[in-house]
Structure 1
Amino acid sequence: MKTLLKTTAGLLLLLPLFSTADNISSDSISTEVHGQQQNRMQTIKVQNSAVNQSYQSATWFHSIDISLARDDNYNGYFHQLYVEFDADTDYSYQQIFAELSLTPDYGYERVYYTSSVFELFGDNSNDWLGIETDLQHQYPTNFYLLTIRLYDASTGYLLAEASGYDLSALDALTLEDFQRDQIQTSSSVEVSAGSIGMLALMALCLLFLRRQEQH
């Protein structure tokens, strides 16, 4: 089994979008890119390590790429996540689909995307799948653990699983949804005269009148 893991840190630079499937929900918007299309990832920093996996069968992860982008309010948390992986199989041809989930610290796992059915061709490196997701709602600012599962398209059986429990690159992802990532504009401060200010003004008026009477 190949054991290359490419973990990308920093902002994701994107080329024009070539999508084959879109998954839109109220909480996130995801777009798929397949290996037959142009790879849109341009890595800034690459780290190689073994792809440890929670579970694998005759199908396994060959490589996994992670990129974070869009930190609009510059607080170190991003609302765009790009996951690209290449899986291999002992079979010459296999149809599968992927399921991706995020788990915050002290929270519950939440599936945010289920892919379309795609094909694996043995150990071919051109059958990778990329998924770009914009988190929209219901993702508080937090550290998130990413889990990727592969299922057989015919039987629904779990074939392979990798997560932040196995790979540090998939753990502690600094994420927040778009609503929380918006840049806060400065608000004007309204100044009003309170009761103390009015009393002081009245006292000054009375003092002025008394001085006029003395003259």
Structure 2
Amino acid sequence: MRALILFTLLLANSFSFAATSVKQQAVTSDKATAQQSAQKIKKTSRHNVVWLDSLTTTSLLDEDNDGYSQDINFTFDFDTSYQQLTVYVDLMLVDEQRHTTKLTTSSDFALNSDSLADKQRFDITVDEHLLTGYYQLLINIYDANNHQLIDVVDYRNNQGLDDLRLEGHKYDHHDTFSLFNHFYNTSIDQDNDGYDQRVELTLDLDSLYGNQQLQANIRLDGRLLYASAPFTIYGSSTSDVQTFDLLVPSQFHGGTYALTAEITQVSSHHSEHTTTFDLGYVSVESDYNDQPIHTDVIIHDSGCMHWLFLFGAGAIAMLRRYLQK
């Protein structure tokens, strides 16, 4: 079933493209290494044209040391049943939900039978928004002359392509700041409908550093209410609380909104990072919508004219009856 899903994705060609950095280079071998090619165990693929004889992987970039890296480097040794064959490959990343992301299409490279001197290295730095998780690498191998798919290499017969622990830069970090406490108050309700115009918000943020510069975006249901100027917090001090006194702008109609604070570490010698804190719900509306509704009841009293109208109508009715006799 697992294989069927992968091939369904392959045939449908339903790939998304990530902002992933991939660098390709040929790996040169010394004479001693090249001589070892004669000692290789002969392998074949199901089509007996190209197969992956061996691979090595390395990862270097893991800022939070949790075992999930931002990069992965592959060195592939592809062999072929031909004396020489020029190919190129598509590298695809498959996540835990079997979604496939195309990483790159390589440049052409030549394979020389079962030589060790034709290895290819791909240095991959994943998209910064890639979710933390286990991934698999899927490789499509094409004949460079006619662009025909020769073979597919995946985790089923190459364990080095399975259980790749990856995460984007956004998730590969230590939290350097936290929300220690917060409170808010709403006020100004001119029409007494339960929706206020004003939000007073106080945030007490703490940092692992002696001082740290941050910036806050205050949002209602994800829509920007206010973007602050940069401000500085000092360790776990309580004297650096930030207070925001905000009036709700006209684009917000009366309603109950999720209040969030999106805190971004301003770029410095630390890596930039953003964390969103859920602060609760507020019932608010803009000044434009917060207006008392005045209903004027007008009573028309016609006085004696009303009676004159009734008397005239009666007289006309009696006159018509007399004329009919």
Shift of 1:140: 0.6
* Residues 1:154 and 2:149 are matched in the alignment: no
Q: Secondary structure at the match of 1:69?
A: coil
* Distance of aligned partners of 1:52 and 1:175 in 2 relative to their CA distance in 1, 3 Å threshold: farther
Matched, 1:29 2:39: no
Distance 1:191 1:114 in 2: 49
* CA deviation profile, 1:56-91 (whole Å, cap 9, x unmatched): 432222212222331111222111011111111222
Residues 23-172 of structure 1: pairs in structure 2 closer than 5 A? 27-36=19-28, 55-172=46-163
The runs of 5 or more residues in structure 1 that have no matched partner are 1-24, 39-48, 195-215
Residues 107 and 141 (structure 1 numbering): CA distance in 2 closer, same or farther, change over 3 Å?
same
**Sequence identity of aligned pairs in percent?**
22
Distance 1:191-1:85 versus aligned 2 partners, 3 A rule = closer
Distance 2:133 2:177 in 1: 25
One-letter code of the match for 1:29?
S
Please tell me whether the aligned partners of residues 89 and 105 of structure 2 are also in contact (alpha carbons under 8 angstroms).
Answer: yes
Quote how far apart the aligned CAs of 1:184 are.
2.2
Choose which of 158, 168, 179 in structure 2 pairs with 1:177. 168
Greater relative contact order: 1 or 2 (C-alpha under 8 angstroms, separation 6 or more)? 1
Q: 1:26 to 1:101 in 2, by over 3 A?
A: closer
Pairs aligned (count) = 159
Amino acid at match of 2:69: F
Indicate the SS of the match to 2:91: strand
Structure 2 equivalent of residue 204 of structure 1: none
Structure 1 distance, partners of 2:184, 2:153, is 62
Whether the aligned pair in 2 keeps the contact of 1:27 and 1:136 (CA below 8 Å) is yes
Give the Cα separation in 2 of the matches to 1:94 and 1:128.
13
**CA 170–33 in structure 1, closer or farther in 2 if over 3 Å, else same:** same
Unaligned runs of 5+ in 2: 1-16, 31-40, 186-325
Matched residue type, 1:101 = M
Give the direction of change, closer, same or farther, for the CA distance of 1:87–1:193 in structure 2 (3 Å limit): closer
Structure 1 residues 188 and 105 mapped into 2: Cα distance closer, same or farther (>3 Å)?
closer
Contact 1:134 1:178 in 2 (8 A): no
Corresponding residue SS for 2:177 = coil
Q: Counterparts of 1:50 and 1:78 in 2: how far apart (Å)? A: 34
Instruction: Return the letter of the residue paired with 1:117.
Output: D
For the pair shown, the structure with the greater C-alpha radius of gyration is 2
How has the CA–CA distance of structure 1 residues 187 and 89 changed in structure 2, closer, same or farther, with 3 Å as cutoff? same
* Pair 1:192–1:31, CA change in 2 (3 A): same
Asked if the contact 1:61–1:160 (Cα under 8 Å) also holds between the matched residues in 2, the reply is: no
- TM-score scaled by length of structure 1: 0.64
Preserved CA contact (<8 Å) 1:26 1:137: no
1:191 CA displacement: 6.9
Structure 1 161/64 Cα, relative in aligned 2: closer, same or farther at 3 Å? farther
Stretches of 4+ aligned residues off by more than 3 angstroms:
49-53, 187-194
Provide the alpha-carbon RMSD of the alignment: 2.8
TM-score, length of structure 2 as denominator length: 0.44
